[in-house]
Amino acid sequence: MSIDLPNDSAILTVQNLSKSFGGVKAVNNLSFSVLQNNIHAIIGPNGAGKSTLFNLITGVIKPDMGNVQFLNQDITSLRPDKIAQHGVSRTFQNIRLFPDMTVFETVLIGTYQFTGGNLLPALFRTKTFRNKESEAKERIEETLKFVGLWDVRNEYAAQLSYGNQRRVEIARALATNPHLLLLDEPTAGMNQKETKELMNLFSEVNHQGITILIIAHDMHLVNSLSNQITVINFGEKLAEGPPELIQNHPAVLEAYMGRAEAHA
């Protein structure tokens, strides 16, 4: 879904965000902006605070300090379903699929959960609900065709290949019609072919006017897909800029490669 903003304005701004777990400063006074229509990558070693950052942006956890602005509105204190309704959608680092649901059902249930689907109208089958339901089903059909899962819509999601399970998650996130899509290591554990296919998919998503914030380890993917990179280490911003600047940044290479190897 495209929105009426100039391309160089911020869709998301994180200001002085901090979150500690016990003594660990997972995210430490972090500030950055994601510009409209960008594919913005977050990189950093294991434990740098990347997933925590996503949990803070999407309201899964509350920050100790700082705030998150989305489309010039403060979304810091909102519940996850409210944040989703504003147009922020995500996938998780670990695939989360119910074992006994088909691809179609998984995406359908996902849209109800993320859009704060209210149970009462569903029980009474009101006209508004039926309209919403058929709108949702159309949107899901469109999304499943778009990500290449329409042919397997009646198969159990959890029994698909790893690559296709990721696609189910992406479809579930896209079916909510987001302005901003957050992807947490979506290509981890994938072979080159699957990675390439997903990269193409992300480019297409972006061409539809959806801004992407992606956590990734694969430097090739990051350099060829994104137009802005924020490097974080120990919860703090280490560097920021376009890929050509970041990939040759000595401090980044040392911190990122050094610690990444230690975790390999």
Do 232 and 53 form a contact (C-beta atoms < 8 A)? yes
Which one, 31 or 93, has the nearer CB to Mg ion?
A: 93
**160-189: which residues touch Mg ion (CB under 5 A)?**
none
For β-strands 65-70 and 73-74, DSSP reports them as: antiparallel
The 8-class DSSP code of residue 68 comes to E
Binder among 1, 24, 245, 251 for ligand ADP (CB under 6 A): 24
Does 76 contact Mg ion by CB under 5 A? Answer: no
Q: How many CA atoms lie within 13 A of 4 on its CB side?
A: 0
The residue from 12, 14, 26, 140 that contacts ligand ADP (CB under 6 A) is 26
Residue 51 in the binding site for Mg ion (CB under 5 A):
yes
Q: Which of 229, 171, 225, 235 is nearest to 195 (CA)?
A: 225
Residue 49 contact, options Mg ion, ligand ADP, none, Cβ 5-8 Å cut-off depending on partner type? ligand ADP
By CB under 6 A, tell whether 17 contacts ligand ADP: no
User: Which pairing describes strands 180-184 and 88-90: parallel, antiparallel, or unpaired?
Assistant: parallel
47 is a site residue for ligand ADP (CB under 6 A):
yes
Q: What is the DSSP-derived secondary structure letter of residue 78? A: S
Q: Which is nearer to ligand ADP, 58 or 164 (CB)?
A: 58
Which residues of this chain interact with ligand ADP, rule CB under 6 A?
Answer: 21, 24, 26, 44, 46-52
